[in-house]
Amino acid sequence: MGETRVAIVTGGSGGIGRVVAERLAKDGMKVVVNYAGNPKRAEEAVEAITAAGGSAFAFQADVADEEQVAALFDETEKTFGGVDVVVHTAGIMLVSPLADLDLADFDRMHRINVRGTFVVDQQAVRRLRRGGALINFSTSVTHIAVPNYTAYAATKGSVDGMTLILAKEMRGRDITVNAVAPGPTATPLYFDGKDQETIDRAAKAAPLERLGVPDDIAEAVSFLAGPARWVNGQVIYVNGGVV
């Protein structure tokens, strides 16, 4: 692939998304940092990429709004000439036992995690160039069945289903579709509302006896976005061996 590849990272202004954006830029891609509502953090991500010699810009879009997402892809094509990689990290996690969950919270999670994935994926598969890669974000919670994550796991189970079927719908286009499913990862989103005992217990759950860090997740994304052309239609559990 002679020309520079172009990546869109949704939710790219903070947490795992920002580290993914910086990693893909380090891999030599031009990067579009999508964000929902914090332009300062998005610009900081762009500045970090450009300071390291990369090329990036930030673009605000609600991932569940089809017009805003179409505008995100339009601006990427206009500025960088096309789209080769889409990494959809944007999502929210609201934790509660099923019996106690406010249905408004369930609807909010569904809108961002399920509809948002559908809207972003729809634009991605319409526009990705040959040799491209679409990488959704799932969760290891669907696999390890942690109490209180019922609603969140339900939204990410939908992501798994979309990913596996979409990979087959891309037949003949040389586009891979996979999902990364992180386990407990040291981000503000993960730490929010957890006491130290809960965090320590999660850190001991993996045979490697630590929490994941965003760089661990970004490494898997880099692999799927670049050299991994024979990994397709998979949900990759990036969790240090938690079962």
Q: Which residues does the annotation mark as catalytic?
A: 152
Which residues face 10 on adjacent strands?
88
Structure tokens at 86: 């889409």
